[in-house]
Amino acid sequence: MKSKGSLVVISGPSGSGKGTVVKKLREIMPDVALSVSATTRAPREGEIDGREYYFITRDDFEDMVAQGEILEFTSYCGNYYGTPKKEAERITGEGRDLILEIEVDGASQIKRLMPDAITIMLIPPSLSELESRLRGRGTETEQVITNRLARARDEIKLAESYDYVVVNENDGIEKCAENIRDIIRAERNKSARMTYITDTFLDN
Amino acid sequence: MKSKGSLVVISGPSGSGKGTVVKKLREIMPDVALSVSATTRAPREGEIDGREYYFITRDDFEDMVAQGEILEFTSYCGNYYGTPKKEAERITGEGRDLILEIEVDGASQIKRLMPDAITIMLIPPSLSELESRLRGRGTETEQVITNRLARARDEIKLAESYDYVVVNENDGIEKCAENIRDIIRAERNKSARMTYITDTFLDN
């Protein structure tokens, strides 16, 4: 028998660099699993149900959300995209760790649906650093930047409701990803996850 | 302001290799602190109170144990040796992590006196492996080996009361120490330990 894997939820305000960090994490932890999302958009040529996406109807998707069967979802170009709880349970049940990168407000919802989920909030080193990152993109209006900074302040107040907080220093993507790798590895040794080992030990 | 360090308690049955693993851990994590023990034995020439040991009387030592001011202690050649709670609090208060290697039954006591302590139980890969290790020493009688194995079985049943369980595979000292290092690093990112970061963030 093998121990269950973990659902690892990585989140953080816009500008915290979560996309880049998750990409780096997947490079240094190739054994971490990806999940197949459910979507309401039509399959494109060559796409296979259950490989690229689970293709489902809008009605079914909304039903699943109502039933707590979708861990988190987003809507893009009029279609829903979300992570089915069953998919996460299947992967972690096989002993593999699964990474989910989500918006800050979705983490408490996931924790409610999967209490064993490990939640990690990524934060930039400071608000002024976050401001320069957002300005550095050169694509946002002054109003958007002001709104994002205000929202980041609010989001970071939620840090205490996460299990872990990791600071994404400038030029520290690698260190930040290693930090998260340490957390995932450490969680594998939580005594509650090790009962299969101690049980086996006592049987031999 | 700096975050508090952790008191990291490493324990495991006789033959689990905790001494060797802790030595290796100190090599790969030189920033981890050592504590100065209190003892009732007389100072030897050149020993300085507060450097080698805190030299105290038997009465004072027993009083401290009764008051919950000694985290764990052992008696050797008629003298007590123990870790003062204040010493552990001083070191972790400076933001440094402190390692304590103790017998299995002392961990719950430490957790009671210092609830934030991180407890790690080290176990050998199997009972038969433990048996060959004990026999391999070539110094123990058959009776001693039988007793140690029975005790190890009982001790490993306590694994669930520890925070983490780490398996010390054969020839895996390095990996085992790295495993513990991952745990210590991950614990530094627990959100409860990161409030000084998020607070600073929101002030800037």
Mark yes or no for CB contact B159/A187 under 8 Å.
Answer: no
Assign a CATH topology to domain B1-33+97-204.
Answer: Rossmann fold (3.40.50)
Q: Which residue has the tokens 């048996």?
A: B131
Confidence of residue B2 (pLDDT cuts 50, 70, 90): low
Give dist(CA A61, CA A69) in Å, integer.
9
A121 interface with B at CB cutoff 8 Å: yes
Please state the ipTM of this predicted complex: 0.81
Measure the CA dihedral B136/B142/B144/B150, to 10°: 90
Residue of B166, B191, B197 to mutate when probing chain A, most A C-beta within 10 A: B191
A195 interface with B at CB cutoff 8 Å: yes
Smallest CA–CA distance, residue A143 to chain B, in Å, is 20
Nearest to A186 among B123, B182, B202 (CB): B182
- Burial label for B113, CB within 10 Å (0-12, 13-18, 19+), is middle
On whether the CB atoms of residues A165 and B191 are closer than 8 A, the answer is yes
Compute the Cα dihedral for B34, B38, B43, B49 and give only its sign.
positive
User: Least CA distance to B190: which residue of chain A?
Assistant: A164
Mark yes or no for CB contact B159/A186 under 8 Å.
Answer: no
A98-102, A178-182, B111-115, B200-204, range with greatest mean pLDDT: A178-182
Mark yes or no for CB contact B186/A182 under 8 Å.
Answer: yes
Looking at residue A47, its pLDDT comes to 93
* pLDDT exceeds cutoff 60 at B51: yes
Looking at residue A133, its pLDDT comes to 85
Tens of pLDDT along B28-44? 999 998 888 999 999 99
A112 interface with B at CB cutoff 8 Å: no
Smallest CA–CA distance, residue B162 to chain A, in Å, is 6
Tens of pLDDT along B144-197? 889 989 999 999 999 999 999 999 987 789 999 999 999 999 999 999 888 877
Phi, psi of A194 (to 5 degrees): -105, 5
Confidence of residue B202 (pLDDT cuts 50, 70, 90): confident
Confidence of residue B121 (pLDDT cuts 50, 70, 90): very high
CA distances in angstroms from B154 to A204, B11, B67, B147, listed in the order given: 14, 14, 29, 11
Q: Which residues of A25-61 are buried (b: 16+ CB within 10 A; e: fewer)?
A: beeebeebbebbbbbbeeeeeeeeeeeebbbbeeeeb
What are the domain boundaries of chain B? Answer: 1-33+97-204, 35-95
Smallest CA–CA distance, residue B23 to chain A, in Å, is 20
Mark yes or no for CB contact A198/B127 under 8 Å.
Answer: no
Give A21-73 as a DSSP string: HHHHHHHH-TTSB--PEEESSPPPTT--BTTTEEE--HHHHHHHHHTT-EEEE
Compute the Cα dihedral for A66, A67, A68, A69 and give only its sign.
negative
Looking at residue A2, its pLDDT comes to 65
Smallest CA–CA distance, residue A33 to chain B, in Å, is 20
Assign a CATH topology to domain B35-95.
Answer: Guanylate Kinase phosphate binding domain (3.30.63)
Residue of A176, A191, A199, A203 to mutate when probing chain B, most B C-beta within 10 A: A191
Kindly give the parts of chain A with pLDDT less than 70. 1-2, 204
On whether the CB atoms of residues B8 and B97 are closer than 8 A, the answer is yes
Tens of pLDDT along A37-63? 999 999 999 999 999 999 999 999 999
Looking at residue B203, its pLDDT comes to 72
User: Least CA distance to A194: which residue of chain B?
Assistant: B165
On whether the CB atoms of residues B108 and B161 are closer than 8 A, the answer is yes
